[in-house]
Amino acid sequence: MQPDPEPRSNQNWETTAMGVTDTTQQAFDRAQELKQFEESKLGVKGLVDSGLTSLPPLFVHPHETLSTLKPARPKPDSIPTIDLSCCDSFRRPSVVAEVGRAARELGFFQVVNHGVPTEVLDRTIAAVKAFHEQPTEVKARIYRREMETGVSFFTNYDLFHSKAASWRDTLQILLAPKLADVEEIPEVCRNEVLEWNQQVQRLGSLLLGLLSEGLGLSAGKLQELTCLETRVMLGHCYPYCPQPNLTVGMTSHTDPGVIALLLQDQIGGLQVKHGDEWVDVAPVPGALVVNIGDILQIMSNDKYKSVDHRVLANPNREPRVSIATLYNPSNSENEFGPFPELVSSDKPAAFRQFTFSEYKRRFFTKELGGKSLINYFRA
């Protein structure tokens, strides 16, 4: 399907969220609005670029979500920053201890001196930003939800399952086990994506080794289970939002898979649930954010925590850009469950065995908000 020759008038989108009271009509209108938005291939940034000044109803979130969007209480040291420069020295055990403690207590930490050059971080952010700043008709050529080529551009992968859409566009690229068709990777960011793939493969191996050792296992345990072999890159763009009090950049969720590695710019907006409070993950220059996924919490028999996190809508005129790399097992039919080494009479298995393909089927047929499937697989 060819993209529209011109962006659709924003007049269609500036309807009141409260103007229809009949439930059946509301549902019908929402379905029509979703269809119209998807077929326009504008993306959220396309709406902003067209001059939109208020949110379309499909992006307005319910009160129960919006009521929690209070500024996080300042806690500058709540998310630890761990120096990885000593991993090849006699100080490695202390780094393992720090990583293990953060994974158990918070599920999130930042790493510095990780071996990825600062100029690579800056180039990768700039390249993904350049993709999102291209004209709508250029991005529309790869606006799709299927991944046959390993490359797609879309707004909200759960757009048709969620109660409300989030104010975010995403460029998704499969990095491994089979790299996306290189010619399909947008030229504006192609070289940077290929370089990023090499960096995250190396760094992912280091992180999985540290996390394995943090559980008292061998450094290669997670890699033996193919946990490094599937990598997906998500280049998110959170454009300026004219009404940030009515929506979110990304709803509260936990991540599937093993770990996620996040490169964020300096605008901020990422928050983590710690107890009953939301805590800001303040950008640290040169740092990368690491968080535990559901599968690793299960394999660790609840020692490591996969925790809820979200992104606030961006009130700044400058778009927020972040790049998440998700690490998953490549063998979807392998059975996963708690490591036998972590199961005992004092600590029985907290989860049943299941295949990763079963997990993915359940994850991708539900909305992102409240996504954690941890309890579903409990023994």
* Nearest residue to 36 via CA among 13, 59, 54, 14: 13
Secondary element (H or E) of residue 174: strand 169-176
pLDDT, residue 132, reads 98
Reported pTM: 0.90
Q: How many domains does the chain have?
A: 1
d(CA 83, CA 95): 8
* Nearest residue to 135 via CA among 195, 186, 193: 186
* Residue 255 exposed, middle or buried by CB count within 10 Å (0-12, 13-18, 19+): buried
d(CA 56, CA 35): 13
Tell me if 140 is assigned to some domain.
yes
Tell me if 232 is assigned to some domain.
yes
Between strands 81-83 and 108-112, the pairing is: parallel
pLDDT, residue 74, reads 57
Identity at 370, one-letter amino acid code: G
Secondary element (H or E) of residue 7: none
**What letters, b where the CB count within 10 A reaches 16 and e where it falls short, cover 349-362?**
bbbeebebebbeee
pLDDT, residue 296, reads 97
Tell me if 55 is assigned to some domain.
yes
- pLDDT above 90 for 308: yes
- pLDDT above 60 for 70: yes
Per mean pLDDT, which range of 4-13, 232-241, 342-351 is the poorest? 4-13
d(CA 54, CA 10): 9
- Give me the domain span that covers residue 305: 20-377
The answer to whether 176 and 231 have CB atoms below 8 angstroms apart is yes
Got the DSSP string for 207-225? Answer: HHHHHHHHTTS-TTHHHHT
Tens digit of pLDDT for each residue in 345-363? 999 999 999 988 888 787 7
Higher local confidence (pLDDT), 330 or 209:
209
* Residue 9 exposed, middle or buried by CB count within 10 Å (0-12, 13-18, 19+): exposed
Per mean pLDDT, which range of 24-38, 203-217, 251-265 is the poorest? 24-38
Tell me if 199 is assigned to some domain.
yes
The answer to whether 368 and 165 have CB atoms below 8 angstroms apart is no
Tens digit of pLDDT for each residue in 180-214? 999 999 999 999 999 999 999 999 999 999 999 99
Average pLDDT over residues 35-62: 95
Identity at 31, one-letter amino acid code: A
Tell me if 6 is assigned to some domain.
no
Tell me if 147 is assigned to some domain.
yes
**Dihedral pair phi/psi, residue 278, rounded to 5°:** -100, 135
Look over the chain and give the mean of its residue pLDDT values, rounded to a whole number: 89
The CATH code of the domain that includes 169 is 2.60.120.330
Q: Would you call 342 helix, strand, or coil by DSSP?
A: helix
* Nearest residue to 158 via CA among 238, 251, 260, 242: 251
d(CA 281, CA 268): 7
* Nearest residue to 242 via CA among 48, 33, 71: 48
Tokens 């079963």, located at residue? 358
d(CA 230, CA 226): 8
DSSP 196: H
**Dihedral pair phi/psi, residue 61, rounded to 5°:** -90, 155
* Rg, C-alpha atoms of the chain: 21
pLDDT, residue 77, reads 65
Identity at 32, one-letter amino acid code: Q
DSSP 351: B
pLDDT, residue 73, reads 62
Tens digit of pLDDT for each residue in 141-181? 999 999 889 999 999 988 988 889 999 999 999 999 999 99
Beta bridge partners of residue 301, listed in sequence order: none
d(CA 47, CA 49): 5
Got the DSSP string for 89-148? Answer: STTHHHHHHHHHHHHHHTSEEEEES-S--HHHHHHHHHHHHHHHTS-HHHHGGGB-S--T
The answer to whether 336 and 128 have CB atoms below 8 angstroms apart is no
pLDDT, residue 130, reads 98
Tell me if 1 is assigned to some domain.
no
In the chain, the percentage of residues whose pLDDT exceeds 70 is 88
pLDDT, residue 16, reads 35
